[in-house]
Amino acid sequence: MKDKKALIFYFLMTIILFDFGNQIRKLSFNPYFEDLDNPIFSIIHITNTGSAWGLFEDKTVFLSLLAVFALIFLSYYVVKNLAFKDKFPLLCSVLFASGALGNLVERIKFGYVVDYIKLNFVDFAIFNCFDIFIFLSVTIYFFFVLVETIKQKKESK
């Protein structure tokens, strides 16, 4: 184990964000928000048995197993490689784990995930809070790697 503090942070924040995502999903069923319709976004509810953009539709078992393996691998990576000082990779790990866990629990509980955020200013897939966590984790990690690569190239000159 590289850093006990990082591991505690990872698991604690993953559970907190998972709960936050569940609260947002429950709040989206509030009639006040269901009637919300503006130029930016709407709250609607659809069931999604696949992944993003309808990929792997009706492959709930496959997607659930993929999430389980991703969570196991990510947890192992955090345990073996990350220290509390590794802020961006640790943050990305927490965001990704929360999103994967949230969608996994919904797939197991309902057989689908509930997507409810529709962007009105662009033709885009309807998504949920857990999808946002996963997207943010990948985006932040991409920029972290990009910045680190640029920094290393400047230092090597």
Interhelix angle 87-110/4-28, nearest 10 degrees:
50
Task: Write down the domain spans for the chain.
Answer: 4-156
Q: Contact 118/128 with Cβ under 8 angstroms?
A: no
* Average pLDDT across the chain, whole number: 91
Q: Is 37 a catalytic residue?
A: no
115 is catalytic: yes
Show the DSSP H helices in 29-117 as ranges.
31-34, 60-81, 87-110
E strand or H helix at 26:
helix 4-28
Contact (CB, 8 A) for 102 and 31 = no
Catalytic hit among 3, 37, 86, 115:
115
pTM of the model: 0.89
Beta bridge mates, 47:
114
Q: What is the pLDDT of residues 122-135, one digit of tens each?
A: 999 899 999 999 99
